A and B are shown apart, each in its own frame.
Chain A
Amino acid sequence: MNYKYFLNIILLFFNLAVTSQIIFESNVSKKSLGINERLRVEFTLNEDGDNFKPPSFKNFKVVGGPSQSIKNSWVNGKRSYRKSYTYFLSPIKIGSFEIGQAKIEVKEEVYKTSPINIKVLSAVKNPNKENDPNYISDTEVYLVSEVSNSNPYLNEGVSVVHKLYFSSNIGITNWRELSSPRYADFWSQNISIENYSIEDGIYNNKAYRYVTLKKTVLYPQKNGELTIEPLSLDLTLQLPTNRRDFFGQRIMGSSQKIVTSGDKKINVKPLPKNNELQNFGGAVGSFNFTLNSSKTKLSVSEALELKLEINGQGNLKLFQLPELNLSSSLEVYQPEREEKISTSIIGMAGSVRDLYTIVPSKPGRYKIPKISFTYFDIDSESYKIISSKEFTIDVSGKEWSNESVKTNNFKINSKSKTVAFLPFKTKTTLTKIRKNFFFNSSFFWTLFLAPFIITLLIIIILTNYSKDKGKYSNNDLLLQAKKLAKKHLSEAKSNLGRKEDFYESLDRALHNYLKSIISLENSNYTKNNITIELEKRQVPKAITLSLNKLFKNCEMARYTPITNVEMKSDYTKAIEIISQIDKEIN
């Protein structure tokens, strides 16, 4: 002890003369740390020493070191020296531990550091955050996508704005889009931003500066939950470091950083159902609808322009315009579509119009029917219908057609004929309106059938009447037969001498005479029957015999020569017989 003390004093004097005092100390980067953090322990000596012995570092694990550094500098003739041993430690357990004494020998003297108490706490979120540029950029740079309405109707405009928030001590030198969002189930339009301006804003209750990078207007085309894809950016940042430059200002370190905005979900409501809705073309927004005609009076083959216009705000590009339905006599050409739409962050606004060119081919007063346009009104959340006014177009002149169709059609349906509208009638003859037709009425049928029935009746009655008066009619026939007999008899007389003609006439005369007396069918007309019939009528036998003889003569005469005298006697005989039979019967 005495020795030590002595040495100390000597050294003190020596030191005063040559150098300053020897200092050996230990420094730690922090006295309390999380278990996942690291600790730097530095042992510094201001003199050259040997045989450095580190403490045992119980409850710690040496992850780095020892690294030895020697710093020797001369300032204004004064020398300063520094020798340090650095260890990086990682705690093993939670608790309060001591870093023990380190020893070093300087000129045979042993120096020791004083022990340090270290508190090891539970894990810290961001170990070693202060100086890590990446950590800084994580907490100080945010890419945010703001959606104006997360629960819109189908086809209702939604805006998505991508903003980059960053704290005031960070500079952004460059940015590059890694992936731009694709809006699969949306109709989308980008609103281009000309100048990126830095503005002040608040995010998460902290003041930041921000840049609006992208503005997009979306019109959802599908019902249900839809995802808006994130935007990813590669940023080049200027970050402050702990180091300072020569003038005391912080040195900025540059760092690359990829930021993304998170997925955004929006829930698209379907439009309310309405069965009675007609002509709904999918328009959502607030609109005005007009239908105008360039003229209302024109002549055939002149052109007319109909303007169907919808203006307002909403999904102007995304719905169908109502269709024009006109008479086939009006030639309607394919409409010309004119769109004057500007898209801003609140959606599409402007007008859409269809210009129809119409050429009437036939004269007349054409009605342009009212056309209704149906849209879903976002503000009142209901369907609204706007109808145009009905109006007429007066077309004058003659039908104009270049088709000259010649058909054999009937004139009533020949279409090639020019049809003109006829003026009203000045005179008329009025008749009673009858509900029932005369045709097919019972009166008609009685009138129609009466003549037939009457005819039938007349025939029936007359035939019956003639039957009743049958004798009369027989008498008539007998008279006729007698007349014929006389006729043939006179014929026979003139034929006297010509044998064959004479006998034929005579035969006929006799036959006709007999017919007139006895009504006999031709088939029963034999000699036997004649004699029987004559006997019935009480004609004497002598007469019948002479009659038969006469018939025989007639037959014979055809084959045998006969003289004129014989013919004469036969003729007289025939007259005799006829007169005798007449006498007998009457």
Chain B
Amino acid sequence: MKNFLLFTLILNLSFSQEKDIFVTANERYNAGDFSLAIEKYHEILINGNHSSDLYFNLGNAYYKVDSLASAIYYYEKGLKFYPNNADLIQNLQYLNNLIINNIDPVNVDVLSNKANYIYNYFSLDYWSILCIILGTVSSFLFLLYYFSRSSKIKRITFTLFVLSYIMTSSILFISFQNYNSRTDFQYAIVFDQSIDVNLEPNSNSEVLFKIYEGTKLEIIEDFDNDWLKIKLRDGQIGWIIKNKLKII
């Protein structure tokens, strides 16, 4: 216990240091020295700490130095850790308007949108803790039901047990959906001004279409270390050279 307290103390101390860096970075940002601000923000990331605001400010700073792709990259990265963060979503949407030939996600229907919103309503950690708490409650309720003599208590505890059991399993399901959405899909941002998307993983094959800086892609598979099979948000598929992308 003593050790744990000490650990949290050290943790807090280091966080306060990091916070100082954040504040100085913000000062640089405010003074218009965006590249130095970017450096400072990165320092926090390198030290292994983050927050939604950090990603947000980093994206803003990159946008100020006209690096659209990097700005979008850090907003997306922030959203990966903090989904449903309204500020990140708003600025990302703002920057998405600036992408050349940006693809609107046409086939995303309202239902899956809502589902995603629910899946991401809490962070995955919250969902998992909820899972554990509800699981404990439901097992406790079962014990109560099993050992109580009075039929009245039995009836109440049983209904409560069934309810909590259903909730536990549905939250477990949500957590799995959330978990899968993070681990099953890999996304990347285009960093080159424009890239040809080829039919096959070689530069001699037919060019299907072009994608431009800042476009978000889903990575399906890779080939030969240099080529990636990508899918756009409107469902178009093609091959692309790896080094022109940055994986979120």
Contact = CB atoms under 8 A, between A and B. Distances in A.
Contact of B102 (A327, A367, A424, A444): A327
A365 interface: yes
A439 B179 CA distance: 7
B193 to A, nearest CB: 5
B56 interface: yes
Nearest to A463: B146
Contacts of B100: 325-328, 367, 369
Nearest to A414: B93
Contacts of B113: 409-410, 412-413
Interface string B69-107: 000000000000100101101110111011111100000
Interface stretch (A87-95, A429-437, A578-586): A429-437
B139 A451 contact: yes
B44 A425 contact: no
Contacts of B97: 327-329, 362, 364, 419
B142 interface: yes
Contacts of B136: 451
A427 B128 contact: no
A455 B142 contact: yes
Given A410-B114, A439-B124, A451-B139, A364 B54 contact: no
A430 B18 contact: yes
A437 B147 CA distance: 37
A448 to B, nearest CB: 5
A481 to B, nearest CB: 18
Interface in B44-60: 44-45, 48-54, 56-57, 60
A472 to B, nearest CB: 16
A409 B110 CA distance: 6
A277 interface: no
Nearest to A439: B128
A364 B98 contact: yes
Contact of B125 (A421, A439, A454, A459): A439
Given A412-B84, A425-B57, A444 B94 contact: no
Given A412-B84, A438-B124, A452 B135 contact: yes
A419 B172 CA distance: 35
B217 interface: no
A420 B60 contact: no
Contacts of B179: 437, 439-440
Q: Is the interface of B mostly helix, strand, loop or mixed?
A: helix
B128 A444 contact: yes
A455 B143 contact: yes
Given A425-B53, A438-B124, A462-B147, A367 B90 contact: no
A431 B50 contact: yes
A69 B146 CA distance: 160
Given A412-B89, A448-B131, A421 B94 contact: yes
B173 interface: no
B63 interface: yes
Nearest to B204: A275
Given A366-B98, A432-B49, A439-B124, A424 B57 contact: yes
A367 to B, nearest CB: 6
Interface in B165-187: 172, 175-176, 178-179, 182-183
A455 B168 CA distance: 16
B119 interface: no
Contacts of B139: 451-452, 454-455
Nearest to A361: B97
B191 interface: no
Given A325-B212, A440-B176, A444-B131, 17 more contacts: A327-B102, A364-B94, A364-B98, A366-B98, A369-B193, A392-B66, A409-B113, A422-B91, A428-B22, A428-B52, A430-B50, A433-B81, A439-B125, A439-B178, A444-B128, A444-B132, A459-B146
Interface of B: 15, 18-19, 22, 26, 29-30, 44-45, 48-54, 56-57, 60-61, 63, 66, 68, 81, 84, 86-87, 89-91, 93-95, 97-102, 108, 110, 113-114, 117, 124-125, 127-128, 131-132, 135-136, 138-140, 142-143, 146-147, 172, 175-176, 178-179, 182-183, 193-194, 204, 210, 212-213
Interface of A: 275, 325-329, 362, 364-367, 369-370, 390, 392, 408-410, 412-413, 419-433, 437-440, 444, 447-449, 451-452, 454-455, 458-459, 462
Q: Which 6 A-B pairs have the closest CB atoms?
A: A428-B53, A425-B53, A451-B139, A455-B139, A451-B136, A439-B128
